Structure 1
Amino acid sequence: MSLYLSDPLMPQIKQVSIQSMDHLGLVAALLKKYKIAQRIDLMLPIKLDKRTKSTYGQRICALILNGLGFTNATLYMTPDFFKDKPIEALIAPGLCADDMNEDALGRCLDKLNQHGTTRLFSQLAFEIIQEHGLLSTSHHLDSTSLALFGEYNGDWKHAPIPKQGYSKDHRPDLKQVVVNLITNGPAGLPIYYESYDGNAADKTIFHDSIAYMRNFIEELNNSEDMLWVADSALYNTNKLQNANVNWLTRVPATLNIVKQNSAKSDDAFEWCELDNGYRYAKINDEDKDSPNENWVLYSSEQGKARQLKTLEKKIDNAHQALTRALKKVSGTLYACEHDARQALKNTAKKAKYHQVVEREIEAQWGYEKRGRPKPEDKKLKGYRVIADIVENAEAIAQAKHPLGRFVLATNKTSLTPAQMLKEYKQQSQVENGFRFMKDKSFQSNRIYLQNPQRIDALLMVMSLSLLVYNLGQYELRARLTKEDETLPNQLGHPTQSPTLRWVFQMLRGISYVDLGTQGIGVANISEREEKIIRLFGKEALDIYQLS
């Protein structure tokens, strides 16, 4: 419903309250559809008192609404976020922004940590993924580091300790914590979350995660179909052979078997073609760590093209550096020809993709006296070396051989090379999840919390936001496909696979209007916005007051 200043109702209304709804009604609809608050309240029951009228589930929903609001505000600034939002319509009747104050949210985060963030998250996520039939037989593991600003002093019991470690954010100067996720199913839903100290190693935490999930989900203990997929950090011969699970991993490029196969020319293999520019060649049994595993060498044309650009840049940088070094050598006078050649030789040793070819060694003469020196005063001042730089064709050819190549290994020998590649490429789901969590809108690196345990709890809420987001995006795309409908993408072209974030942006400007005694309405819903809201079902229709 749209209101204008000329509306005849306006003189009769003493006070009009207009609040921003935008896309938050869709987020609230998803939270209600998947019963996020109810599920959490069953696990974290609370006795309401004078301090607050909200449950733990409602407070976590408030944090998720803030996070998926993409407002570039830190998650724990929730009270400010709700000052101009219709919190009663979004969460529950009777609530106001002050009910989500810092004290209430802090106690909620403390409760999450006490209960166990990993246990709560896995239980909630697994319930939802089972109810909606989205559980698949493949689990994808990965970790990332979140760089943090601040000192973070305090009691670190039951909490990740911010430390300096291998920084995937390329900020080795900052402390960090490590977050480990496991995703599952066609929607790429996270079903496992855990945070670790900033110096935790993937080679350890990946196997710990697998052990935890197998114990947590009873059905997995005797399942022969489940497959655990991860990058090369999972590869540990002893741990993999003793894990008693099916696994698929990329083999570390540092292993001799990978180096040797990557360094060979294309003619050394019998390649089999796959789709999308991939091909593969099987690795001989005698080269493997175990004969009961499938090891396959893959080559990607797209990967090779990307890596070739990087190599060409390296070669160009190396040429520039060598030119500078050679200029310094050529500008130096040496006492004898041997010293000049030795200096040139030392410079040439550092050249990886080029060769330094001596052109000549030139004797330099000059006068030591000032004024008008006599010919007999001319002295030999030293020797200068002159050389040229040429490309090392053989070295460059050797550097090109490994481009676009990688080795995958699995103990599930029933998988074909094509299936192995398809499963491994699904790792992009968890990687996309980390990009979502690191979005600047979350301000995840500016977690200034006095209580260290709350960092862990807040990171779990971010993972829960990812779960809700991926659920919403997957079901929206599925409904568009089922109903043969489309939405415009950023360029205005019809698509059945829009990102949920773009859909959220299309709902900007929708307002929640309280007309006092005249009732409540939602303004600025166009035909396009109404179509989007209807795609999200009854919960969204109720929140936006559409019949």
Structure 2
Amino acid sequence: MTEELTITSQRVDDIPLLIAQMERMGLPQHLDVQFPVHGNWQGVSLGWTATCWLAYILSEGDHRLSHLQSWAEGRLETLQICTAQEIRLLDFSDDRLALLLRRLSDDESWASFEQELNSHLVRIYELGTERVRIDTTTKSGYWTVTEGGLFTFGHSKDHRPDLPQVKVVLSTLDPLGMPLATEVVAGHRADDPLYRPAIERVRQSLNKRGLLYIGDSKMGARETRAEVESGGDYYLCPLSLTQLSEEGIQAYLEPVWNGQQPLTDIYRALEPEKSQSIAVGFERQAEMRVNMAGRVVTWTERRLVIRSLSQVEAAQKRLMERIDRARQAIEQLNERKRGKKRYTGADELRQAGLKLLQKYKVEGLLNIEIEETCHQRQIRHYGKRPAREEKVRSYRISATVDEARVAETLQQTGWRVYATNAPAEKLSLIQAVLAYREQYIIERGYGRLKGKPLSLSPMYLERDDHATGLIRLLSIGLRVLTLLEFLVRRRLAQEQSQLTGLYAGNPKRATARPTAERLLAAFKGLTLTLIVEPNRHLRHLTPLSDLQHRILNLLDFSPEVYTRLTTNFVKPP
């Protein structure tokens, strides 16, 4: 009699780590409390369903509803052991996931969830709450535009104005970039009015004042600045020409041209003993007075006039390239060859040169000169026409650089005025410049949200509530990534150590600032093998490497996060 032997394999990868991290963050519990479901809901709870879905999204870089069930089918035992839940494939049906998204789209429940989760994470991970960044982005897609709907036409940050879009407002906590508040609004909404509600959401979420809010020039509206000031918080943002005219900027810079205004050098630390000069600047003050719904808010605003050296270098390079192209194009007007227009008059040639100056945006920087030459041409006798001499005029155009005007133009480049109400002892000029230059933190979050691994794009959902729920779900995933990355970096900084083995092809390369994506990728290839015999069931897991043990240790996780897959027993059907 031949005994039947069944061997199956399941890709484990980073799933146990992700689920353990989300469980430690309290995601399943907070979701279940803030998003209660109908009594007819069967199977695992909404919180655990969302947790497994997020594990799929973060592990596979794919949020599609229709793919989750087949993915779970190949990892069912892994999911059951990691969650300690009796998971069924029906728990991941399209209808169940659509219902989950509809629940997440409830604004009141979502606000309560974010508030409770933020409070929990700040407390258990001892996160500093000093600076918050706010910014907006858009997601375009091939949706149907409906009146009053979420998908509408507007200014596209995806450079697709031909497609309807949805707008997302993120408020993130420095320095880890973890979302504190997520707003999903119609794509046609202007940015300026979205900052005040976002700030209020953060205030309610953290229940703290004295925060520094950092944003782009859209946050610089007078009403927004007044709202921050009146609420006992601080702001830092650049001022656009709407908030500060060109004449106002020139008035600030005039003492610089006259040599009456000393400039402060601003350096950025590269290594413990090395630094790089990145900007120069100085301060001015302005008395502010804004009428806010019948109440007048007054305060003294610090204006930080900053010149970025990298912008100056880039502007100089672009300007000289335009000047060179303009001079070459003007020189080509003198060429005489078949099919090329010949200019027979000085005025006509000068107008052609002026058009080229306008085309390359170098008016006033090049001086056009027309050189006229005249010579006698002998014409032979022909028929009844006698031989004669004819005076022939020809013209040549050239362009010379006005060095003084070029220097004056370059002198104006790289300047920008920033506004803040924070006192100098809390935020010095140098600190303000360095703080704003970390705006890449929130931009990186948007990159993760719209690209890998959260992969909002492309989004195939048509309903407004489904799209809102999905974006909010992905914002939870962004919290998982940023927190995991921050915890490892903080631990490495505390130990004054680095991590090696993360870079394919260069295993000895060390880093003290690994990304969450590389940390999770280090667990790719782990496989759980199930051997089922009539009288016994065996499990074998790919042994953890030294790097994997090290990452788990940095996150304060025991190897049991993985080894329990071989010790736990789940009775097969």
Tell me if TM exceeds 0.5: yes
Contact 1:359–1:387 at 8 Å: present in 2 too? yes
Contact 1:61–1:91 at 8 Å: present in 2 too? no
Tell whether 2:455 aligns with 1:443: yes
How far apart, in 2, do the equivalents of 1:179 and 1:328 lie? 57
Match in the other structure for 1:129: 122
- Which structure is higher in RCO with an 8 Å CA cutoff and minimum separation 6? 1
Match in the other structure for 2:155: 166
AA aligned to 1:58 is W
Tell whether 2:267 aligns with 1:275: yes
Where structure 1 has 5 or more consecutive residues not aligned to the other structure, the ranges are: 1-10, 367-371
Match in the other structure for 1:102: 94
Pairing of 1:32-47 with structure 2 (within 5 A)? 32-47=23-38
Match in the other structure for 1:456: 468
Match in the other structure for 2:273: none
Match in the other structure for 2:522: 506
AA aligned to 2:281 is A
Contact 1:121–1:464 at 8 Å: present in 2 too? no
Shift of 1:511: 0.8
Q: Secondary structure at the match of 2:564?
A: coil
Contact 1:153–1:452 at 8 Å: present in 2 too? no
AA aligned to 2:171 is I
What's the CA shift string for 1:352-405, capped at 9, x where partnerless? Answer: 334252333468999xxxxx8886699999976421133332343233224443
Contact 1:29–1:540 at 8 Å: present in 2 too? no
Percent identity for Structure 1 against Structure 2: 19
- 1:146 aligned to which of 134, 139, 142: 139
Contact 1:486–1:495 at 8 Å: present in 2 too? yes
How far apart, in 1, do the equivalents of 2:184 and 2:261 lie? 43
Q: Secondary structure at the match of 1:274?
A: strand
- 1:293 aligned to which of 295, 301, 308: 301
Match in the other structure for 1:8: none
- 1:522 aligned to which of 541, 544, 562: 541
- 2:406 aligned to which of 379, 390, 396: 396
Contact 1:235–1:250 at 8 Å: present in 2 too? yes
How far apart, in 2, do the equivalents of 1:210 and 1:233 lie? 13
Contact 1:271–1:280 at 8 Å: present in 2 too? yes
Match in the other structure for 1:211: 200
Taking structure 1 as reference, are residues 519 and 177 closer, same or farther at Cα in structure 2, changes over 3 Å only?
Answer: same
Q: Secondary structure at the match of 1:444?
A: coil
Q: Secondary structure at the match of 2:105?
A: helix
Q: Secondary structure at the match of 1:427?
A: helix
Taking structure 1 as reference, are residues 524 and 147 closer, same or farther at Cα in structure 2, changes over 3 Å only?
Answer: farther
Match in the other structure for 1:62: 52
How far apart, in 2, do the equivalents of 1:399 and 1:78 lie? 58
How far apart, in 2, do the equivalents of 1:25 and 1:98 lie? 21
Q: Secondary structure at the match of 1:180?
A: strand
Q: Per residue, is there more strand in 1 or in 2? A: 2
Contact 2:19–2:52 at 8 Å: present in 1 too? no
Tell whether 2:1 aligns with 1:23: no
AA aligned to 1:505 is A
Contact 1:136–1:186 at 8 Å: present in 2 too? no
Shift of 1:189: 1.6
Match in the other structure for 2:295: none
What's the CA shift string for 1:123-147, capped at 9, x where partnerless? Answer: 4234322332214122211111222
Taking structure 1 as reference, are residues 109 and 288 closer, same or farther at Cα in structure 2, changes over 3 Å only?
Answer: closer
Shift of 1:48: 6.1
Contact 1:181–1:192 at 8 Å: present in 2 too? yes
Shift of 1:20: 0.8
Contact 2:278–2:309 at 8 Å: present in 1 too? yes
Tell whether 2:509 aligns with 1:493: yes
How far apart, in 2, do the equivalents of 1:141 and 1:408 lie? 16
Contact 1:52–1:104 at 8 Å: present in 2 too? no
AA aligned to 1:251 is L
How far apart, in 2, do the equivalents of 1:381 and 1:67 lie? 82
Shift of 1:252: 1.9
Contact 1:178–1:196 at 8 Å: present in 2 too? yes
What's the CA shift string for 1:73-121, capped at 9, x where partnerless? Answer: 6466322333333332344432144421211100110111135445533
Match in the other structure for 1:180: 169
Q: Secondary structure at the match of 2:300?
A: coil
Q: Secondary structure at the match of 2:166?
A: strand
Q: Secondary structure at the match of 2:448?
A: helix
How far apart, in 2, do the equivalents of 1:118 and 1:54 lie? 24
How far apart, in 2, do the equivalents of 1:113 and 1:392 lie? 61
Contact 1:21–1:510 at 8 Å: present in 2 too? yes
How far apart, in 1, do the equivalents of 2:387 and 2:352 lie? 29
Taking structure 1 as reference, are residues 527 and 508 closer, same or farther at Cα in structure 2, changes over 3 Å only?
Answer: same
Shift of 1:426: 3.7
Shift of 1:204: 1.3
Taking structure 1 as reference, are residues 534 and 338 closer, same or farther at Cα in structure 2, changes over 3 Å only?
Answer: closer
Q: Secondary structure at the match of 1:240?
A: helix
Contact 1:203–1:233 at 8 Å: present in 2 too? yes
Shift of 1:483: 4.5
AA aligned to 1:282 is F
What TM-score does the superposition give when structure 2 sets the normalisation length? 0.80
Pairing of 1:350-365 with structure 2 (within 5 A)? 350=359, 352-353=361-362, 354-361=365-372
Tell whether 2:5 aligns with 1:14: yes
Match in the other structure for 1:304: 312
Taking structure 1 as reference, are residues 475 and 333 closer, same or farther at Cα in structure 2, changes over 3 Å only?
Answer: closer
Where structure 2 has 5 or more consecutive residues not aligned to the other structure, the ranges are: 269-276, 290-297, 568-573
How far apart, in 1, do the equivalents of 2:383 and 2:221 lie? 76
Tell whether 2:225 aligns with 1:240: yes
Contact 1:125–1:467 at 8 Å: present in 2 too? no
AA aligned to 1:527 is D
How far apart, in 2, do the equivalents of 1:382 and 1:461 lie? 79
Q: Secondary structure at the match of 1:519?
A: strand
Q: Secondary structure at the match of 2:53?
A: helix
Taking structure 1 as reference, are residues 67 and 321 closer, same or farther at Cα in structure 2, changes over 3 Å only?
Answer: farther
Contact 2:485–2:515 at 8 Å: present in 1 too? yes
Q: How many residues align?
A: 527
Q: Structure 1 stretch 350-359 or stretch 502-511: which is displaced more?
A: 350-359
Shift of 1:31: 0.8
Contact 2:322–2:360 at 8 Å: present in 1 too? no
How far apart, in 2, do the equivalents of 1:470 and 1:213 lie? 18
- 1:541 aligned to which of 553, 556, 560: 560
